[in-house]
Amino acid sequence: MAKSQQTYNKSEREKKRLKKKEEKQKKKNARKAEAKESGKTGIQFAYVDYNGNLTDTPPDPSQKIAVEAENITLGIPKKEDVEEEEFDPIRNGKVSFFDTSKGFGFIIDSETQEKYFCHVSGLIDEIAENDKVSFELEKGMKGMNAVRVKKI
Pick the CATH number of 90-151 from 2.40.50.140, 1.10.3720.10, 3.30.450.20, 3.40.190.80: 2.40.50.140
Query: Percent of the chain scored above 70 by pLDDT?
Result: 89
Q: In 3D, which of 102, 146, 100, 145 has the Cα closest to residue 126?
A: 100
Please give the residue that has the higher pLDDT: either 34 or 88: 34
CA distance 143 to 109: 15
3-state SS, the chain, equals: CCCCCCCHHHHHHHHHHHHHHHHHHHHHHHHHHHHHHHCCCCCCCCEECCCCCEECCCCCHHHCCCCCHHHCCCCCCCCCCCCCCCCCCEEEEEEEEEECCCCEEEEEECCCCCEEEEEHHHECCCCCCCCEEEEEEEEECCEEEEEEEEEC
Whole-model pTM above 0.75?
no
Please report, for the chain, the start and end positions of each structural domain, with discontinuous segments joined by +. Answer: 11-65, 90-151
Quick: pLDDT tens for 54-109.
Answer: 888 888 888 888 889 988 888 876 766 545 445 568 999 999 999 999 999 999 99
pLDDT of residue 85: 44
Q: 151 phi and psi, to 5 degrees?
A: -75, 150
